[in-house]
Amino acid sequence: MTDDTATATLDVDGLRTALHCPRRYEFAHVHGLAGSDDDAVADRVDVLRSAICDALRSGETDREALEAVASDRLSTLWTDHDEPFHSSTQRRHERRVLEATLSAYLDRVGTDHAAGIERLDADATRGELIGPALPLSSAVDVADGAHAAERVRIDATVDYVYGDGSSIVGVRFVPTLAPLGRLRYRSDWEGDVADRFTDHFDDGSPTFEPDPVGSLLETAVVIDGLRGLRDRLELGDRTCRYVQIPLADRSAATVNWVQDTVETSLEVADLTDVYVDHHTYGMTHDHRNETVDDRLETVVVSLLAGSFDPSDRWERIEEHACPDCEYTVCCQEYIAGEVRFDG
């Protein structure tokens, strides 16, 4: 939960970066070196994210009324969207994709979530439930060496929170679910999810899974942040869940170029059960996975200590992280590998 007494602040994006490569984290999050911010897909997701959140904020729960508000808002935001397209045909097509995704969202979960927001708002004390980028945070008490007894705040965001029976659910819109890897298809922590999570941190293991591991750390932060929000809104002992919804996944899209139409469906990923260690849950009745939480603390300690040397896992990092890294030009490990001499 949010804690103003925290002596340091991190965020889940930084954790994800560090899992790919601690040196990349140093460049991006410690020294503040800016990478490329030219991400057209993320910008389009932001357009649709804003349109959906504005529609949810309208208070409408009827399908047609909700779609009317969202479509009107999408039209306005798209007019101001200045992405350079190759042609007006491409721009029109990308708008059709957004409209189809909006329709799929409303068909799949939109009206249910709108009604859930209305119910939760009626039960809650005064507080914001709709973003986009609604802030949450979790406080991690570090108990290691020089940083013992230090409280660190980790920030995350969701796009809105709704009520679902005895649970409150945080929803975050993402471009795709691809970074989840096998988490996308698993509903239990036990088994290969647990094995691959622990193997990622094993220096002797070839497993390198920064994206799924980052998703589990993010889930831990978000669920703890939701519990803090629940308590602030005086919502009793409701359980907390975390859901991701992709807004730029083209795998389910069907395009009719003759009629200039696009149809798609939407997948929803609930990460809660994957994170929950049911043995621990049975003892504490909390959404708590000791393995993930312990590793979260370890990663936090490493970042606080400035341990950005990637040499322990460099072979795996170089293979997986370097090809798409924007900081290779100033990375001493990468440069040393590129200019080494044989003999």
- Print the SS3 string covering 144-178: CHHHCCEEEEEEEEEEEEEEECCEEEEEEEECCCH
Report the percentage of the chain scoring pLDDT > 70: 94
pTM: 0.92
Tell me phi and psi for residue 26, to 5 degrees: -60, -45
CA distances from 90 to 96, 100, 115, 251 (A): 10, 15, 35, 18
How far is residue 278's CA from residue 271's CA, in Å, rounded to a whole number?
Answer: 14
Q: How confident is the model at residue 343 (pLDDT cuts 50, 70, 90)?
A: very low
**Distance between CA atoms of residues 233 and 126, nearest Å:** 7
Instruction: Name the token pair of 319.
Output: 């293979």
Residue with tokens 């094995």: 195
pLDDT in tens, 250-309: 888 899 888 888 999 999 999 999 998 877 777 776 777 999 999 999 999 999 988 898
What pLDDT is stored for residue 6 in this prediction? Answer: 62
The answer to which of 2-6, 13-17, 327-331, 333-337 has the lowest mean pLDDT is 2-6
User: How, if at all, do strands 254-256 and 239-246 pair?
Assistant: unpaired
The total of other beta-carbon atoms located within 10 Å of residue 181's CB is 17
Say if residue 38's pLDDT is above 80. Answer: no
Per residue in 133-177, pLDDT (tens digit) is 999 999 998 876 665 668 899 999 999 999 999 999 999 999 999
Task: Give the chain's mean pLDDT.
Answer: 90
Residue 232 token pair: 């602030």
Q: Cα separation of 169 and 270, whole Å?
A: 9
Residue-level pLDDT at 101: 97
Which secondary-structure segment (H or E) carries 18?
A: helix 12-20
C-alpha dihedral, 248 to 249 to 252 to 257, nearest 10°: 50
Q: How many CB atoms lie within 10 A of CB 203?
A: 7
Could you tell me the CA-to-CA distances from 188 to 157, 172, 266 in Å, in that order? Answer: 24, 21, 22
Q: What is the pLDDT of residue 178?
A: 95
d(CA 20, CA 265) in angstroms, rounded, equals 31
Distance CA 198, CA 142 (A): 20
- In whole angstroms, what separates CA 248 from the centre of its chain? 14
In contact, 181 and 37? CB cutoff 8 Å: no
**What pLDDT sits at residue 198?**
95
- CA distances in angstroms from 161 to 78, 102, 154, 170, 303, listed in the order given: 25, 18, 19, 5, 30
Helix (H) or strand (E) holding 255: strand 254-256
Please report the DSSP string for 104-150 in residue order.
HHIIIIIHHHHHHHHHHHHHS-S---EEEEEEEEEEEEE-SGGGTTE
